[in-house]
Structure 1
């Protein structure tokens, strides 16, 4: 176990950091997209629609 942590420590550190950054960017992009739509009466767009670019 100790050898595994030593050999893979960099990957075990940066993989969760990368995942958190990607999730943070998804939330920020979703909020920015909704804010750019402009009018308050427009329907909010779901996060799946935002990330795929498909509007229904």
Structure 2
């Protein structure tokens, strides 16, 4: 008899790295939005302007610039490294599959 929970458990286990980093990305993005909103409104108050609501801040160019700068400096580099180590090879590197090995042998020692 097949257990209907088994495929779901397999999905979580087989995709745990992607899910963990996806959740981490969303948590960091939300924290950045909250901190950025507070800082932006503090600057607005110092300049004698009206504070912005959270939704308005999320659609502002200030938030977009902050996210883009953060993406360029950290997330893009990490993304490129991770996917680069999947498809590119470096002789002698522990992160790389053996030179000349097929893409399907990634993670196989040899």
Superposition CA RMSD, Å: 2.0
State the distance in 2 between where 1:53 and 1:2 align: 40
In structure 1, the residue matched to 2:17 is 10
Q: Which runs of 4+ in 1 moved over 4 A?
A: none
Gaps (5+ residues) in structure 2? 1-7, 62-110
Structure 1-normalised TM-score? Answer: 0.72
Kindly tell me the number of residue pairs found equivalent between the two proteins. Answer: 53
Q: Distance in 2 between matches of 1:53 and 1:5?
A: 35
Larger RCO (CA within 8 A; separation ≥ 6): 1
Q: Which runs of 5+ in 1 are unaligned?
A: none
Greater helix share, 1 or 2? 1
TM-score for the superposition, normalised by structure 2: 0.41
